[in-house]
Amino acid sequence: MTGENTIDLTLVIPVYNEESNLEPLHKEIVAVFSVTSFSYEIIAVDDGSFDGSLQKLIEIQKNDPHLRIIRFRRNFGQTAALAAGFRHARGKVIVPLDADGQNDPADIPRLLKKLDQGYDIVSGWRKDRKDNKVTRTFPSRVANWLIGRITGVRLHDYGCTLKAYRADSIRHIRLYGEMHRFIPALARWGGERVAEEVVNHRPRLRGKTKYGLNRILKVLLDLVTVKFLASYSTKPIYIFGGLGVVCMIGSVLTGATVLIMKYTFHFSMNRNPLLIVSTMLMTTAIQFVLMGLLAEILVRTYHESQDRPTYVIEKILEPSAAALPPEG
């Protein structure tokens, strides 16, 4: 995140071909915050839209100095869009929400109230989802159960974009792939306090969904990555070295069996498959140990060079001075 956290709240909205939803969503956001005392900004991240979403955002920005626009050169995906929004956020609290209108901005004050109860992250729970039960709801429930079991951080709805984060709680988290949904687990492992709040979920009225069953495989692969990073990100030699030790023990036992067969039972070592197995296991053991050492070097390089973002920004459009409200 750049700069100091100078305002109360930043809304981060990834946008990809949501032209028809932007103006209604913006009106809802303005209505919510017109009756609060929060200072806020809206960061809309145009993730390479080609339907006129950028033009609609520019049109809205002319009349709203709270809106900032980040435009990607191409479509990098939702995780990259959220990462860009988080990086440029100036709010003490960051609230991401979808641009499709299914998240209700009226829930944001309740998330903030829950946050004030001593939590660092409050995750939305779409208890009554308005999505297709076969292609969306059921796979999501299975994924949430699996993520909870593997990460140990049990939430009902990891996939809900509407969450509230204290900016400091996610400052150290880098997002890749589809890993934005794992932020609560990553933060909990870092010692942050995570809670859950039931939020309203609405059916999509305009536009087409960008989600499909193909995302399930991505989530599963990212889950493996998250578990590995959580358990071995700073000590990969433990897993590779452990496998190497297992192979080495197997090699020694197999080699001992070959010697016993030769000198006790006078079996010929020629064409004895156990001798080949013993040699292969020892070779594999050495390779695992070397892989562990290389992984240790890569991990140290990774932790020292994380400042490279996973996206390329084409431009950032700040509100013009003429649109800013007068001070005082």
pTM given for the model: 0.74
The pLDDT value recorded for residue 210 is 62
CA distances from 157 to 93, 122, 145, 238, 295 (A): 20, 11, 9, 32, 33
The pLDDT value recorded for residue 316 is 84
The pLDDT value recorded for residue 113 is 94
The pLDDT value recorded for residue 323 is 60
The pLDDT value recorded for residue 93 is 96
The pLDDT value recorded for residue 218 is 74
* Torsions phi, psi for 326 (to 5 deg): -65, 145
Which residue ranges make up each domain of the chain?
A: 7-232+308-323, 236-298
Helix (H), strand (E) at residue 282? helix 273-304
Distance (Å, whole) CA 310 – CA 322: 33
Distance (Å, whole) CA 215 – CA 18: 20
The pLDDT value recorded for residue 107 is 94
Helix axes 236-263, 214-232, angle to 10 degrees: 80
The pLDDT value recorded for residue 268 is 76
Mean pLDDT by groups of 10 residues along the chain of 328 residues:
74 94 94 90 94 93 94 92 93 94 93 94 88 73 84 86 92 80 86 91 76 68 76 76 91 90 80 86 92 81 63 76 58
Alpha-carbon 57 to chain mean position? 25
The pLDDT value recorded for residue 121 is 94
The pLDDT value recorded for residue 312 is 61
Distance (Å, whole) CA 92 – CA 117: 16
The pLDDT value recorded for residue 190 is 78
Question: CATH topology for 7-232+308-323?
Answer: Spore Coat Polysaccharide Biosynthesis Protein SpsA; Chain A (3.90.550)
Distance (Å, whole) CA 324 – CA 264: 92
